[in-house]
Amino acid sequence: MKKTLYLKFILAYFIFGVFGFVITSAFVPNMIKNHLIREKAEVLYSEATLIANTYAGGLYTSETTLETVKNQLDALSIYLSSTIRIINPSGRLVLDTNMRLNVDDVIMVKDFDPTTIQGTYYDVGPYYDAYDGDVINVIAPITSDFKVKGYVVIYSSMTDIEQSAAGLLNISYVILIVLLMLSMIILIFFTEMVYIPLKKITYATEQYASGNMHYEFQVDSEDEIGYLAACLSFMASEIARAEDDQKKFVANVSHDFRSPLTSIRGYLEAMLDGTIPPEMHEKYLTIVLNETQRLTKLTNSLLTLNNLNTKGMMIDKRDFDLNDVVRKTAATFEGTCRSKNMGIELILTGDVLYAHADVDKIQQVLYNLIDNAIKFSHQNTSIRVETSVKKNKIFVSVKDTGIGIPKDDLKMIWERFYKSDSSRGKDKKGTGLGLSIVKEIVKAHGEHINVISTLGVGSEFIFSLQKALKESEED
């Protein structure tokens, strides 16, 4: 059988119960009895001493008569529910509250030996000829002129003590049962708050381990166990999401590779089997070349994204002149602009504007944004790249008056492989990776990027950069 935590807990509970009963029945009766005997003995001894010093003492100094003492001791013996005796050192019984006073008869107490209880003030056992069973007895000497004249002996039956002890023992058992029942509450709490949630968590972990990452479970507690369950559930959902992303990513990559490859293959086959006549080859080879360029671009973008993801914050921040980088990047689009009859307007702050960032990566951001701006603009328009400074931040804006982005697409444009439907006609080479690379780079710098766009009017992308201290030194 599986040794579950629950079984162990129940076993511990039973051991606790059994031990409780064993200890209670083995030690408690003796402890109670001894305590009651000691208490009773103390009372009897102090009475015996009192009698020895008062009534009985007076007897030996003839201050009182035997009858008077007998009457007084009779009353006291009823009060103490004991028998009181006065015995001479020789063992002769002078007075016994259980007997009538008879001075003529000489009664000797058999084997009377007061030294038996020397050292302690009381003794428990069969008392001479007095009782059948055990009694508790105390002896106090009656002294006068430093001589022992006699003894006051009080003995009391053990029945009372035994009855009280039995009563107290019963109370102990009742307390033990109540304790066991109360500790049952702990068991119930343990089941509800630890065992059941733990079982749920274990089952969920087994499900996740077997690959069922979409398994859902609920633990409604706000303690550590609830937190553990929530963390586990969150971890599984993150893994599931990563798996889904991975699948989507591979599907997208495959799709984006397959379509140019299919068209390349189609054109090449057509050229080889003569469907495309040799005089048309140049036209179709140009298309093939374009498709290979698209594949190269896709591969490069994938590599860039992969590097950004795996290396995370591998950003080599340095101070550089942002204006210079903007100018150089804009210049690379000269050919494209000329063919579309477009212009790039640069509105730059100062002659030099030092930023503190990874120059290559920022150049890539600018390249992607300007590339998009040109791609999605109409002919004979111009785009505007502007830098501005606010406190220790630089803001770079790339603005076009192109097709704009539909409102519903604005959130999605940052996702990998996303291409809005409206853009497909204008941009056949697009991979849908440009903006996700831009976003990753800006994020890796700890900065932000935003887009403002109106469909049919144009778009503006603005991102922030850290201003270099160097420039302020030069100011």
Q: List residues binding ligand ADP (CB under 6 A).
A: 368, 372-373, 376, 400, 402-405, 413, 418-420, 423, 427, 430-436, 459
What the block records as the tokens of 277 is 């006549």
Specify the residue for token string 């804009």.
Answer: 330
Q: Which is nearer to ligand ADP, 285 or 412 (CB)?
A: 412
CA distance 64 to 96: 17
* CB closest to ligand ADP, residue no: 430
CA distance 4 to 7: 5
Tell which residue, 156, 149, 178, has the closest CA to residue 78.
Answer: 156
Cβ 255 to ligand ADP, closest distance in Å? 13
Q: Which is nearer to ligand ADP, 6 or 367 (CB)?
A: 367
Query: What count of Cα atoms within 13 Å lies in the side-chain half-sphere of residue 11?
Result: 6
Residue 465 contacts residue 406 (beta carbons within 8 Å): no
Cβ 403 to ligand ADP, closest distance in Å? 5
Cβ 290 to ligand ADP, closest distance in Å? 15
Kind of pairing, strands 147-157 and 134-144?
Answer: antiparallel
Cβ 298 to ligand ADP, closest distance in Å? 9
Cβ 423 to ligand ADP, closest distance in Å? 3
Q: Which is nearer to ligand ADP, 156 or 453 (CB)?
A: 453
Q: Which is nearer to ligand ADP, 197 or 434 (CB)?
A: 434
Kind of pairing, strands 343-347 and 382-390?
Answer: parallel
CA distance 408 to 43: 97
Cβ 296 to ligand ADP, closest distance in Å? 14
Listed in sequence order, the residues at least 6 apart from 268 whose beta carbon sits closer than 8 Å to its beta carbon are 288
Cβ 377 to ligand ADP, closest distance in Å? 8
Q: Which is nearer to ligand ADP, 70 or 416 (CB)?
A: 416
Residue 345 contacts residue 453 (beta carbons within 8 Å): no
Q: Which is nearer to ligand ADP, 324 or 415 (CB)?
A: 415
Cβ 430 to ligand ADP, closest distance in Å? 2
CA distance 455 to 401: 10
Q: Which is nearer to ligand ADP, 56 or 442 (CB)?
A: 442
What do you get for the CA distance between the two ends of the chain, in Å?
Answer: 81
Cβ 256 to ligand ADP, closest distance in Å? 10
Cβ 239 to ligand ADP, closest distance in Å? 26
Q: Which is nearer to ligand ADP, 57 or 432 (CB)?
A: 432
Q: Which is nearer to ligand ADP, 204 or 326 (CB)?
A: 326
CA distance 19 to 31: 17
Q: H-type helices in 210-223, by residue range?
A: none
Q: Which is nearer to ligand ADP, 12 or 457 (CB)?
A: 457
Q: How does DSSP assign 237-292, residue by residue?
A: HHHHHHHHHHHHHHHHHHHHHHHHHHHHHHHHHHHHTTSS-GGGHHHHHHHHHHHH
- Which of the 8 DSSP states describes residue 195? I
Listed in sequence order, the residues at least 6 apart from 89 whose beta carbon sits closer than 8 Å to its beta carbon are 114, 148, 149, 150, 151
